């Protein structure tokens, strides 16, 4: 096991797949010579050359359109959209073209491509560079959606995404890029559609994603020590496919569900999970479902405001300790 940062795990995952398969190509804005604005793709140009690692104009529709056309004709492209907020300017390509072409052509069209993008708040960038938009992607039939919280998952899920014959949107958490963690040596490939239970408790089950996983874990420690509330924490990791079996089993075991979501409240991913639990696990519940989310507002930029907007460890502790006894 080597210790890597989350950002180095991105490059390691891409490099592992590019070395294995010549059909894998990588394109985006400032990704090659500059190594990415978050320095997550440093070294790929040197390793694989300008034919396979390509800088693009600021043309998000062209980037994703080109990735799509290449995927339809025998390549397995990885495209970077610098900030997930920018998906809005090429959403037609994602939602209308990439997601639907296989279905509309009754399976004629192949679409093995990966879109990587930096998602989430914590960098004080304001409302157009800080959003958590995983719920946008989740609601489009035809796209798989993952959001890793740990460096090992970054590498493994990127590898799984590249090897998937379906389009996969990988949401990287921009505030986690410096985060360090153990990554298995040698080839590391994860599986799409698998949640992970990170700790088990008996009083409630917290379901979280990406940065919120780390906050949920920290909150669970405090809840245990200071409030005597013992929590299970699940890292969802993959929104589509969704590992409902793991979530249902763990919620049934504690009798309570808490979702911790960075996306704004309306139609956040936790709403779907709450709906599934209400449908299929209602009689196992000991109390109401709790959703802890960013409020339904655009994000403010000042550190003091931003910190009080997205769910914090303190807020998770407070809400759970007030509502669960």
Partner 1 sequence: MDTKVKNKKSAAAEDDIGRDIRLELFRMQLELRLCEKRAYDLFLQNLIKGTSHLSLGQEAIAAAFGVAMRPDDYTFCTYRGHAHTLARGASMTGVLGELMGRECGLLGGKGGSMHLTDVSKGAMGSYAIIGAHLPVAAGAAWSAQYRGTEQVAVCFFGDGTTNIGAFHEALNFSVVWKLPVIFVCENNLYMEYTPISAVTAVEHPAADRAAAYNLEKIVVDGNDVDAMYRTATKYIDRARKGGGPALIEAMTYRHSGHSRADPGKYRPEGELEKWLEYDPIKIYRERLLGLGIVEATLTDIEGEVMQQVNEATETAKASAPPSLDGIYQHVWADGGAAWRN
11 or 247: whose CB is closer to partner 1?
247
Q: What values do phi and psi take at 45, rounded to 5?
A: -60, -45
Q: Which residues, at least 6 apart from 316, have a Cβ–Cβ distance to it below 8 Å?
A: 206, 215, 216, 219, 258, 260, 292
Q: What does the per-residue mask of binding to partner 1 show for 24-43, with x meaning CB under 8 A?
A: -x------------------
Give DSSP secondary structure letters for 46-113. HHH-TTTEEE--S-HHHHHHHHHHHHHTT-EEEEEEEEGGGGGGGHIIIIIIITTHHHHTTT-S----
Residue from 151, 150, 117, 110 nearest 132 by CA: 117
Distance CA 224, CA 317 (A): 10
313 binds partner 1 per the rule CB under 8 A: no
Q: What does the per-residue mask of binding to partner 1 show for 94-113, with x meaning CB under 8 A?
A: --xx---xxxxxxxxxxxx-
Distance CA 32, CA 58 (A): 14
Q: Is 214 a catalytic residue?
A: no
7 or 52: whose CB is closer to partner 1?
52
Q: State the nearest-atom distance from the C-beta of 204 to partner 1, in Å.
A: 22
- Considering only residues 205-224, where is the footprint of partner 1 by CB under 8 A? none
Contacting residue, 39, 122, 224, 244, with partner 1 by CB under 8 A:
244
Residue from 72, 71, 79, 24 nearest 48 by CA: 24
CA distances from residue 293 to 65, 186, 271 in whole angstroms, order as listed: 33, 37, 10
Q: State the nearest-atom distance from the C-beta of 240 to partner 1, in Å.
A: 5
* Cβ-count burial 249-278 (b if 16+ within 10 Å, e if not): ebbbebbbbbbbbbbbbeebbbbbbbebbe
- Considering only residues 170-199, where is the footprint of partner 1 by CB under 8 A? 193
Q: What does the per-residue mask of binding to partner 1 show for 66-85, with x meaning CB under 8 A?
A: xxxxxxxxxx-x--------
Is beta strand 231-235 parallel, antiparallel or unpaired with respect to 196-199?
antiparallel
- Considering only residues 140-159, where is the footprint of partner 1 by CB under 8 A? 141-142
Q: At what angle do helices 151-163 and 6-20 cross, to 10 degrees?
A: 30
Q: Which stretch binds partner 1 (CB under 8 A): 92-100, 205-213, 226-234, 311-319?
A: 92-100
109 or 222: whose CB is closer to partner 1?
109
Q: State the nearest-atom distance from the C-beta of 76 to partner 1, in Å.
A: 10
104 or 302: whose CB is closer to partner 1?
104
Using only C-alpha atoms, what is the Rg of the chain?
19
Q: Which stretch binds partner 1 (CB under 8 A): 10-18, 62-70, 171-179, 206-214?
A: 62-70
- Taking the alpha carbons at both ends of the chain, their separation in whole angstroms is 40
Q: State the nearest-atom distance from the C-beta of 2 to partner 1, in Å.
A: 32
The one catalytic residue in 129, 227, 296, 304 is: 129
Element (H, E) at 291: strand 290-294
Contacting residue, 78, 160, 210, 240, with partner 1 by CB under 8 A:
240
Q: State the nearest-atom distance from the C-beta of 73 to partner 1, in Å.
A: 4
**Which parts of this chain interact with partner 1 (CB under 8 A)?**
25, 51, 54, 56-57, 59, 61-75, 77, 92-93, 96-97, 101-112, 141-142, 164-166, 193, 240-245, 276
Tell me which residues are annotated as active site.
Answer: 129
């Amino acid at each position: 096991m080597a210790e890597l940062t989350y950002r180095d795990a991105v490059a390691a995952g891409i490099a592992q797949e590019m070395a294995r398969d010549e059909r894998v190509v990588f394109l985006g804005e400032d990704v090659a010579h500059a190594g990415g604005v978050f320095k997550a793709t440093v070294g790929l140009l040197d390793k694989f050359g300008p034919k396979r690692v390509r800088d693009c104009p600021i043309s998000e529709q062209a980037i994703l359109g080109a990735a799509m056309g290449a995927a339809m004709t025998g390549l397995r492209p990885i495209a970077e959209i610098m900030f997930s907020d920018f998906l809005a300017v090429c959403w037609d390509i994602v939602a209308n073209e990439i997601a639907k072409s296989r279905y509309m052509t009754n399976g004629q069209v192949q679409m093995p491509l990966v879109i990587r993008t930096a998602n989430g708040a914590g960098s004080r960038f304001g409302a157009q560079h800080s959003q958590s938009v995983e719920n946008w992607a989740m609601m489009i039939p035809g796209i798989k959606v993952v959001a890793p919280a740990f460096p090992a998952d970054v590498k493994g899920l990127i590898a799984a995404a590249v090897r998937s014959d379906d389009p996969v949107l990988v949401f990287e958490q921009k505030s986690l890029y410096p985060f360090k963690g153990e990554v298995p040596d040698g080839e590391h490939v994860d599986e799409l559609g698998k949640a992970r239970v990170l700790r088990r408790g008996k009083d409630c089950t917290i379901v979280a994603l990406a940065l919120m996983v780390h906050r949920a874990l920290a909150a669970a420690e405090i809840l245990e020590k200071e409030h005597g509330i013992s929590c299970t924490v699940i890292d969802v990791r993959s929104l589509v496919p969704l590992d409902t079996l793991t979530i249902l089993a763990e919620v049934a075991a504690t009798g309570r569900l808490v979702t911790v979501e960075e996306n704004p409240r309306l139609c956040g991913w936790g709403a779907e999970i709450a709906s599934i639990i209400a449908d299929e696990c209602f009689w196992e519940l000991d109390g109401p479902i709790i959703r802890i989310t960013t409020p339904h507002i655009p994000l403010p930029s000042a550190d003091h405001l931003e910190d009080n907007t997205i769910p914090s460890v303190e807020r998770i502790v407070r809400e759970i300790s007030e509502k669960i006894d």
